[in-house]
Amino acid sequence: MGPIFLLCDRATTLIAEANPILSTYIGVEGNDHRWTDMSPDGFLRRADQFRQLISEAEGLTPTDENEALAKEVLIEELQIWIDSIDQRDHFRDLNSIESPHQQIRRIFDGMKVQTTDHWHCIIARLETIDEPIDGYRRCLDAGLANEMVVAKRQVEAAIEQGHVAAGPSSELLNLITTFDKQSIGDDHLRRRLVDAVQNGRDAYAKLTDWLESTYLPQASSVDGVGRDRYVRAATRYLGTEIDPEQTYAWGWAELKRLWNELHEIGSEISPGASIEEVIHGLNTDPDRAATSLAEFVSVMKQRQQQALQQLAGTHFDVPEPIRRIDVKVEPASGALAPHYSAPSEDFARLGAVWYPVEGQSFFPLFEEVTTAYHEGFPGHHLQVGVQMSQAEQLSRFHRLIVWYPGSGEGWALYAEHLMDELGFLETPDYRIGLILSKLVRTCRIVIDIGVHLDFPIPQDADFHGGENWTFDLAKELLMTRAFQAEAMSHSEITRYFGWPGQAISYKIGEQALLDLRHEAQSKPGFDAKQWHADVLGLGSIGLDLLGRQMRNRW
């Protein structure tokens, strides 16, 4: 192992020790009983650590191409974290989906539960959960003092989530049920767990009371973050800088193209019917649905296994540890959208696709097939699994910690597109689902950029041309152009408004991959399997770096 790989290995251990929440998420053992210091001083100490690691990396000479990539990735990622801390982003890190408010609560979903030692870690965290919450509140207090506040809409969403976390339907109560199912057989430990769960609920009740009484009255009435913050955030998620005006115009052109394609496929299903009638039929026809939770989970598992069996070795090199994938049901209080959770570093914890379908008994399938390929195989499961398996090519830091939505989510959308090309969306129903998926991601571009940069809707758009964006207009676009349900649309728009720059990474990343593939296909000797192996073998990196690396190969 060369000097840079050794540094990356040590950096991963040091960063995991300093950030136990991250440590649990990436599956590094030994820190699951502790919390990350979420206070302002904690962030400053981690920034000092990152600067020291950059200084060490800059003094090392790569021994080969893999080390050269490792050095570039390490320094770039650490500098992004430093810049975020220098900009004091942690002073206003509160939103509806991906902020410490959710991360502290969600960490228990990723903790192991099989042994007594695992439960000692869970209980230790529940008994000391006041520490990260108090530190986090001090960051938000500092934001108030420096007039760095988030929008009221995000605070209200967090307050609503906090009431759930503290209340009788708290997901923390699920830990007691899980403990009982594991048959640990330790009554004293169970009593400690019950008390610790109550402590967790009480801590969220206190945070929620503070948000409601102190923070909310001072929150901003403006949802948009402005050009500077938006471009900086988008660059971080993409690994390339966008031209907002050009990207906004492209989004509207794509929206029109996909809308026309949707109608063409709809006419194949039901000639003469409106697209609204077609979508209603797909949502209500029992012959096009699973009619029980067990059947739905079974169908999704079958899709994953079928794709794995047919594509492993033919279109993709699939490492042995990821030739299994789990399908799980998201708790009722969890995310509203399907998502993927990565395997642990040792692959003892399987990668899993999570579906928010608890309590449902009727499951239209036309959109779910595309989702299965996006979240599972050959989407995130293949991508993350390959990255984690590349110990000889990618540094431990890169494999476990680095994640750019531009290449990460871009690959997942590319996987949807590819599965259509390969014939796995074998009915017009499933192709409708694919186009709706593309429409959602395209709506994100025009909404996200339009809201945060205060761009008006184009005069020639056939959707409220010339008007300024509002929450209700953004929600209407998702509901009428991508046929998202009202509850999902409300949740999605709240997400975009509070997480600037992230939502556009999917579609932009997919297009970057399609452009790179088109370039490679124009040259002699193109091989799709090798091209896929090269893209996946680079791991999740910024789009600029991805382009340079792939053009060197093709």
Per residue in 473-524, pLDDT (tens digit) is: 999 999 999 999 999 899 999 999 999 999 999 999 999 999 999 999 999 9
Residue 366: its pLDDT value, please? 96
Residue 57: its pLDDT value, please? 98
Answer whether residue 331 shows pLDDT above 80: no
3-state secondary structure of 430: helix
405-421 and 368-375 helices cross at what angle (nearest 10)?
130
Quick: pLDDT tens for 183-241.
998 999 999 999 999 999 999 999 999 999 999 999 999 999 999 999 999 999 999 99
Residue 357: its pLDDT value, please? 83
Domain limit, last residue, from 207, 230, 253: 230
Residue 21: its pLDDT value, please? 97
Quick: pLDDT tens for 352-374.
999 988 788 999 999 999 999 99
Q: Based on the fold, state whether residues 371 and 253 are members of the same structural domain.
A: yes
Q: Which helix or strand (DSSP H or E) is residue 341 part of?
A: strand 339-341
The domain tally of the chain equals: 2
Answer whether residue 334 shows pLDDT above 60: no
Residue 115: its pLDDT value, please? 95
Q: Based on the fold, state whether residues 361 and 293 are members of the same structural domain.
A: yes
**Mean pLDDT calculated for residue range 5-19:** 97
Residue 336: its pLDDT value, please? 65
Q: Based on the fold, state whether residues 306 and 199 are members of the same structural domain.
A: no
Q: What does pLDDT average to over the chain?
A: 95
Closest CA to 492 of 100, 92, 153, 91: 153
The DSSP bridge pattern shows strands 289-290 and 339-341 to be: unpaired
Q: Based on the fold, state whether residues 90 and 238 are members of the same structural domain.
A: no
Q: Based on the fold, state whether residues 184 and 237 are members of the same structural domain.
A: no
Cα–Cα dist 510/535, whole Å: 12
Structure confidence at residue 293 as a pLDDT band (50, 70, 90): very high
Q: Based on the fold, state whether residues 86 and 51 are members of the same structural domain.
A: yes
Q: Based on the fold, state whether residues 246 and 116 are members of the same structural domain.
A: no
The DSSP bridge pattern shows strands 363-364 and 289-290 to be: antiparallel
* Alpha helical stretches, state H, 184-274: 187-210, 227-238, 244-269
Structure confidence at residue 345 as a pLDDT band (50, 70, 90): confident
Answer whether residue 333 shows pLDDT above 60: no
Answer whether residue 145 shows pLDDT above 80: yes
Residue 417: its pLDDT value, please? 97
Q: Based on the fold, state whether residues 253 and 214 are members of the same structural domain.
A: no
Q: Is residue 376 part of a domain?
A: yes
Q: Is residue 441 part of a domain?
A: yes
Quick: pLDDT tens for 56-83.
999 999 999 999 999 999 999 999 999 9
Ramachandran area for residue 183 (φ above 0: left; ψ -120 to 50: alpha; else beta)? left
Q: Is residue 478 part of a domain?
A: yes
Q: Judge whether 326 and 351 are in contact, CB under 8 Å.
A: yes
Quick one: three-class SS letters along 284-330?
HCHHHEECCHHHHHHHHHHHHHHHHHHHECCCECCCHHHCCCEEEEC
Residue 110: its pLDDT value, please? 83
Residue 335: its pLDDT value, please? 58
Q: Is residue 357 part of a domain?
A: yes
Structure confidence at residue 330 as a pLDDT band (50, 70, 90): confident
**Mean pLDDT calculated for residue range 434-443:** 97
Domain limit, last residue, from 179, 197, 230: 230
Q: Based on the fold, state whether residues 155 and 288 are members of the same structural domain.
A: no
Q: Is residue 547 part of a domain?
A: no
Q: What are phi and psi of 355, to 5 degrees?
A: -115, 130
Q: Based on the fold, state whether residues 167 and 68 are members of the same structural domain.
A: yes
Quick: pLDDT tens for 230-287.
999 999 999 999 999 999 999 999 999 999 999 999 999 999 999 999 999 999 999 9
Q: Based on the fold, state whether residues 215 and 335 are members of the same structural domain.
A: no
Quick: pLDDT tens for 115-136.
999 999 999 999 999 999 999 9
Q: Based on the fold, state whether residues 198 and 320 are members of the same structural domain.
A: no
Residue 332: its pLDDT value, please? 61
Domain of 198 in residue numbering reads as 3-230
In percent, how much of the chain has pLDDT > 70?
99
The number of angstroms, rounded, from the C-alpha of 548 to the middle of its chain's C-alpha atoms is 25
